[in-house]
Amino acid sequence: MPGDATTIRTFIAIDISETVRQSICRATAGLRVVADQEVKWVAPQNLHLTLKFLGETPASKLDTIQQAMTVCAGRYGAFEVLPNGLGAFPTRGRLRVIWVGLQAPESLGALATDLERALEPLGFPAEGRPFSPHLTIGRVRENASKTELAALGMALNARRSEELTAFEVKAVTLYRSDLRPSGPIYTRLFSAPLTVYNHSEKNQTI
Protein backbone atom coordinates (compact mmCIF):
# COMPACT_ATOMS: atom_id res chain seq x y z
CA MET A 1 0.00 0.00 0.00
CA PRO A 2 1.43 3.45 -0.90
CA GLY A 3 2.60 5.50 2.06
CA ASP A 4 0.17 8.34 1.34
CA ALA A 5 -2.77 5.91 1.62
CA THR A 6 -1.71 4.61 5.03
CA THR A 7 -3.43 6.24 8.01
CA ILE A 8 -3.15 5.76 11.74
CA ARG A 9 -5.28 7.16 14.55
CA THR A 10 -3.27 9.75 16.50
CA PHE A 11 -3.47 12.43 19.17
CA ILE A 12 -1.12 14.87 20.92
CA ALA A 13 -0.98 14.74 24.69
CA ILE A 14 1.00 15.45 27.83
CA ASP A 15 2.22 12.46 29.79
CA ILE A 16 1.63 12.18 33.52
CA SER A 17 3.88 10.26 35.85
CA GLU A 18 3.13 6.88 37.40
CA THR A 19 3.04 8.59 40.82
CA VAL A 20 0.25 10.90 39.65
CA ARG A 21 -1.64 8.04 37.99
CA GLN A 22 -1.61 6.08 41.22
CA SER A 23 -2.64 9.19 43.17
CA ILE A 24 -5.68 9.58 40.92
CA CYS A 25 -6.57 5.89 41.23
CA ARG A 26 -6.42 6.06 45.03
CA ALA A 27 -8.50 9.24 45.17
CA THR A 28 -11.19 7.81 42.87
CA ALA A 29 -11.21 4.23 44.20
CA GLY A 30 -14.48 4.76 46.09
CA LEU A 31 -16.17 6.27 43.04
CA ARG A 32 -14.98 3.38 40.88
CA VAL A 33 -16.57 0.91 43.30
CA VAL A 34 -19.89 2.79 43.37
CA ALA A 35 -20.04 3.06 39.56
CA ASP A 36 -18.26 -0.12 38.54
CA GLN A 37 -21.01 -1.20 36.12
CA GLU A 38 -22.16 2.22 34.87
CA VAL A 39 -18.77 3.61 33.82
CA LYS A 40 -16.01 2.29 31.57
CA TRP A 41 -12.96 3.47 33.50
CA VAL A 42 -9.76 4.52 31.76
CA ALA A 43 -6.89 2.13 32.55
CA PRO A 44 -4.29 3.86 34.78
CA GLN A 45 -1.53 3.44 32.19
CA ASN A 46 -3.69 5.28 29.62
CA LEU A 47 -4.30 8.41 31.69
CA HIS A 48 -2.98 11.50 29.88
CA LEU A 49 -3.81 15.16 29.19
CA THR A 50 -5.04 15.47 25.60
CA LEU A 51 -4.01 18.66 23.80
CA LYS A 52 -5.21 17.81 20.29
CA PHE A 53 -7.03 14.78 18.89
CA LEU A 54 -5.95 14.32 15.27
CA GLY A 55 -7.94 11.22 14.36
CA GLU A 56 -7.09 9.29 11.19
CA THR A 57 -3.72 10.69 10.18
CA PRO A 58 -1.89 10.05 6.87
CA ALA A 59 1.52 8.54 7.59
CA SER A 60 2.95 10.97 5.04
CA LYS A 61 2.11 13.88 7.40
CA LEU A 62 3.85 12.53 10.50
CA ASP A 63 7.17 14.28 9.84
CA THR A 64 5.45 17.64 9.32
CA ILE A 65 3.39 17.15 12.48
CA GLN A 66 6.55 16.44 14.45
CA GLN A 67 8.17 19.60 13.07
CA ALA A 68 5.14 21.66 14.11
CA MET A 69 5.18 20.12 17.59
CA THR A 70 8.89 20.85 17.99
CA VAL A 71 8.53 24.53 17.11
CA CYS A 72 5.42 25.01 19.30
CA ALA A 73 6.89 23.20 22.30
CA GLY A 74 10.13 25.11 21.94
CA ARG A 75 8.35 28.37 22.74
CA TYR A 76 7.70 27.29 26.34
CA GLY A 77 9.61 26.29 29.43
CA ALA A 78 8.49 23.51 31.76
CA PHE A 79 5.54 24.28 34.07
CA GLU A 80 3.53 22.58 36.81
CA VAL A 81 -0.07 21.35 36.70
CA LEU A 82 -2.16 20.42 39.73
CA PRO A 83 -5.01 17.89 39.39
CA ASN A 84 -7.76 19.18 41.67
CA GLY A 85 -11.37 18.07 41.94
CA LEU A 86 -13.70 15.77 40.02
CA GLY A 87 -16.45 16.61 37.56
CA ALA A 88 -18.45 15.42 34.57
CA PHE A 89 -19.48 16.48 31.06
CA PRO A 90 -22.04 17.68 30.31
CA THR A 91 -22.77 19.77 33.38
CA ARG A 92 -26.50 19.31 32.77
CA GLY A 93 -28.40 16.36 31.38
CA ARG A 94 -27.11 12.83 30.95
CA LEU A 95 -23.57 12.36 32.28
CA ARG A 96 -21.13 11.10 29.65
CA VAL A 97 -17.54 11.77 30.72
CA ILE A 98 -16.00 11.71 34.22
CA TRP A 99 -12.91 13.86 34.60
CA VAL A 100 -10.30 15.22 36.98
CA GLY A 101 -10.00 19.01 36.82
CA LEU A 102 -6.63 20.75 36.45
CA GLN A 103 -5.14 23.96 37.80
CA ALA A 104 -2.53 25.17 35.31
CA PRO A 105 -0.72 28.35 34.27
CA GLU A 106 -1.69 30.22 31.11
CA SER A 107 1.16 28.44 29.33
CA LEU A 108 -0.94 25.29 29.04
CA GLY A 109 -3.80 26.97 27.17
CA ALA A 110 -1.37 28.96 25.03
CA LEU A 111 0.49 25.78 24.08
CA ALA A 112 -2.76 24.06 23.07
CA THR A 113 -3.76 27.10 20.99
CA ASP A 114 -0.36 27.21 19.27
CA LEU A 115 -0.69 23.55 18.31
CA GLU A 116 -4.20 24.12 16.93
CA ARG A 117 -3.01 26.98 14.74
CA ALA A 118 0.08 25.11 13.53
CA LEU A 119 -1.85 21.94 12.64
CA GLU A 120 -4.89 23.51 10.98
CA PRO A 121 -3.06 24.15 7.67
CA LEU A 122 -2.07 20.47 7.68
CA GLY A 123 -5.72 19.42 7.47
CA PHE A 124 -6.62 19.13 11.17
CA PRO A 125 -9.51 21.54 11.88
CA ALA A 126 -9.56 23.64 15.06
CA GLU A 127 -11.97 22.52 17.79
CA GLY A 128 -13.95 25.74 17.69
CA ARG A 129 -14.33 25.82 21.48
CA PRO A 130 -12.11 26.99 24.33
CA PHE A 131 -9.49 24.55 25.59
CA SER A 132 -10.70 22.93 28.83
CA PRO A 133 -7.80 21.13 30.56
CA HIS A 134 -8.85 17.89 32.23
CA LEU A 135 -7.94 14.23 32.59
CA THR A 136 -10.67 11.88 31.40
CA ILE A 137 -10.92 9.01 33.87
CA GLY A 138 -14.14 7.32 32.74
CA ARG A 139 -16.96 7.27 30.17
CA VAL A 140 -20.54 6.53 31.21
CA ARG A 141 -22.05 3.54 29.44
CA GLU A 142 -24.98 4.21 27.11
CA ASN A 143 -27.18 1.61 28.86
CA ALA A 144 -26.87 3.21 32.33
CA SER A 145 -30.33 3.75 33.82
CA LYS A 146 -31.63 7.02 35.30
CA THR A 147 -31.41 5.51 38.77
CA GLU A 148 -27.80 4.49 38.21
CA LEU A 149 -26.96 7.92 36.79
CA ALA A 150 -28.52 9.63 39.81
CA ALA A 151 -26.44 7.47 42.17
CA LEU A 152 -23.32 8.25 40.13
CA GLY A 153 -24.06 11.98 40.30
CA MET A 154 -24.43 11.85 44.09
CA ALA A 155 -21.20 9.88 44.47
CA LEU A 156 -19.39 12.33 42.21
CA ASN A 157 -20.65 15.37 44.13
CA ALA A 158 -19.42 13.83 47.38
CA ARG A 159 -15.88 13.61 45.98
CA ARG A 160 -15.54 16.81 43.95
CA SER A 161 -12.97 18.37 46.29
CA GLU A 162 -10.31 15.67 45.93
CA GLU A 163 -6.79 17.14 45.77
CA LEU A 164 -4.11 15.17 44.00
CA THR A 165 -0.38 15.11 43.31
CA ALA A 166 0.98 17.87 41.03
CA PHE A 167 3.07 17.03 37.98
CA GLU A 168 5.57 18.90 35.81
CA VAL A 169 5.00 19.32 32.08
CA LYS A 170 8.29 18.94 30.20
CA ALA A 171 7.22 17.74 26.74
CA VAL A 172 4.33 17.12 24.37
CA THR A 173 3.92 13.67 22.84
CA LEU A 174 2.40 12.30 19.65
CA TYR A 175 0.58 9.02 20.26
CA ARG A 176 -0.81 6.32 18.05
CA SER A 177 -4.15 4.92 19.24
CA ASP A 178 -5.21 1.39 18.32
CA LEU A 179 -8.77 0.55 19.35
CA ARG A 180 -9.26 -2.97 20.69
CA PRO A 181 -12.30 -4.72 22.27
CA SER A 182 -10.39 -4.78 25.58
CA GLY A 183 -9.62 -1.07 25.38
CA PRO A 184 -7.33 1.27 23.42
CA ILE A 185 -3.59 0.73 23.18
CA TYR A 186 -1.50 3.91 23.05
CA THR A 187 1.96 3.88 21.48
CA ARG A 188 4.34 6.80 21.91
CA LEU A 189 5.59 7.96 18.47
CA PHE A 190 7.44 11.20 19.17
CA SER A 191 8.06 13.69 22.00
CA ALA A 192 8.94 17.38 21.65
CA PRO A 193 10.57 18.93 24.75
CA LEU A 194 9.44 22.24 26.24
CA THR A 195 12.72 24.11 25.85
CA VAL A 196 12.54 27.81 25.03
CA TYR A 197 14.56 28.59 21.91
CA ASN A 198 17.09 31.39 21.78
CA HIS A 199 15.76 34.80 20.67
CA SER A 200 16.28 34.31 16.94
CA GLU A 201 14.72 30.83 16.94
CA LYS A 202 11.76 31.87 19.13
CA ASN A 203 10.49 34.12 16.35
CA GLN A 204 9.96 31.19 13.99
CA THR A 205 6.38 30.49 12.89
CA ILE A 206 4.74 27.46 11.38
Q: Which residues are catalytic, by number?
A: 48, 134
Residues 183/66, Cβ–Cβ less than 8 Å? no
What is the gyration radius of the CA atoms in the chain, in angstroms? 18
* Nearest partner of 113 among 128, 99, 102, 98, judged by Cα: 128
Tell me how far apart the alpha carbons of residues 112 and 176 are, in angstroms, rounded to a whole number: 19
Tell me how far apart the alpha carbons of residues 127 and 113 are, in angstroms, rounded to a whole number: 10
Tell me how far apart the alpha carbons of residues 190 and 125 are, in angstroms, rounded to a whole number: 21
